[in-house]
Structure 1
Amino acid sequence: MAHALTEQELLKFSTGELDSLEFKSSRIFRADMKPGEVNQSLETVAKAVSAMANSGGGRIIIGASDETEPGQVVIDGGVPWAFKGATIKEWLTNVIPPLVDPELHGLNVFPVTPAEVGSEIGEGRAVIVIEIPDSEDAPHQARDNRYYIRVGAKSKPIGNRIVMDIANRRKHPRIKMMLRRTTEALEICLLNDSKIAASDIAIQLVFTSMKSKGLSHGPMPFSTLTWALNSCHTVEIFNDANKDVLNQRPLDNYRPLLPNRQMHKTIPVEWDEDVSSSSTCEWEISADSAATRSGIIMMGDISKLGTWL
């Protein structure tokens, strides 16, 4: 999950109301902090860790803020690289996992790479990215004995019913989807990102400004693609608001999508010349009895390298 993040990339972040992103200013970890102050800061971090681990994962960025200019990242110099007898990276890597119960596994901590010229990160300091995974061990309790989730870019405490809903996720598969747009095709990859096999999967994509070559059906504009797979058949439905074109065929050797396995599909597509960053793709994924996941992504954000949803 972790990858190098440069200062230039960080400053381009559009924060908005992202549930998966939280900023903490450099004041949270200072070189002259007393033990009580450190514990207070860790209490704050524990709430964010609990919320993100219980809400699909995310990033906590320490040493930057979006409070001065809403929606715009501002680096405030960074936290000291040397901290409590270690580097801040080593120290956070050790102290964060036990901040929640059960202990968190699979997190990554790494510094932002400073710009070669005109860096806003001070000498001997660092901006730290903490990547929290979508935990299979959720729900995680913070140090104040409460459980949190992300709501509107904030960490909010939750009641028993939602805690139980999160605990039941382990009984259902979680399917992630990657979209990749090339000049002549739309590529779809489904990944079973859970420990449970998925046998009945369906996705729906609703596009704007898009045309399909129609596979074997000739040129045909469409706005909605539905792709469903189960033990009996696979179904593809292309909808152009006036009619549905249905492809249905039996699957002689169908196998469930096993944990950590992928499934790929390539759809020949003719994109409208005026497709722009303002065009959107509304997506929806369901698998067996798991709760349906959905969202919306700008077409300009579907990269040639692939965008995971």
Structure 2
Amino acid sequence: MFDPTKPNDILKLEDLDLSEFLPSAEDDRHEYKSSAIKNEGLGDKIAKAASGFWNSGGGLFVVGVDGNGQPDGGISLNVGRQSRRDWIDQVISQVTPKSAYAVHSIEDNGCGCNIEPGKGVFLIGFGESEIGPHMANDHRYYIRAGAHTVPANHFIVEAIHARRGLRTPLLSNIVRRKPGNSGIIQLGIVALNAAAAINVSVESDTLPNLLTSHMEEGVSLQVPIISEQFPLFFDVCELVLDDYIHPLFSIKLTYFDIANRTYQQSFQVDIDRQLGPNLSLDNGYDRIEKELKNIAKVIKK
């Protein structure tokens, strides 16, 4: 049975047999439209269905069939000089943000279906989306309620948006003394929510006072996963008296989420500011006090 919530299913509509996989009535995953529908009304229905299905876990929109899912003549393969497929793509592009979908047409071609020559049954599969809420072309949000596509109220829209936030990896950085060796500073990349960042690339051309000379030209790390359970920490510099002030440096992250969407994030790291006045070694204050006395002498002269 066709499962619109599975990405592989919506991308392989052409492998399906129209007479075998459509249920005999609409439900929360299937919406049918008659061949008699006009193009203007059809465009409106497709946009609302895209919003509704993407906001509700996915589904299948079929036009050119009756209420029982049986072909009732089909719709034209073109809209003026434009192909029906391009027309459908143009309608769906008005829904924001746009997520995964697939379009397939079925013509008679001797199959014995009730599809007229030059016409077809069009199937539009909408996959489960993790980037909702999705807004239709009338600037409203929709969901599926049983066999109907209905406007979503404010609370549902907020809930969908909150769910999106939980599924989007949120990374940040921290600076700390290395456990067991307070003379070494570590940079940490940590997850701020339950969504894991996958195949993380960490790059920098400006790391200060690197501990290994062969990394002087910069650093590039590849990490399979960064999550709440698996943060990343690595050494970036030593605390030495002749290098008390550590320069700012930049880090660039590139990573993916479970839906294989790509993210990029850059930030500046200020070691001295993040660790505060206790950054230096224990006798660092003595050095600072000595330097201040030297400055006072110069001013006095």
More strand by share: 1
More helix by share: 2
Larger Rg: 2
TM superposition score normalised by structure 2: 0.50
Higher normalized contact order (CA 8 Å, seq sep 6+, divided by chain length): 1
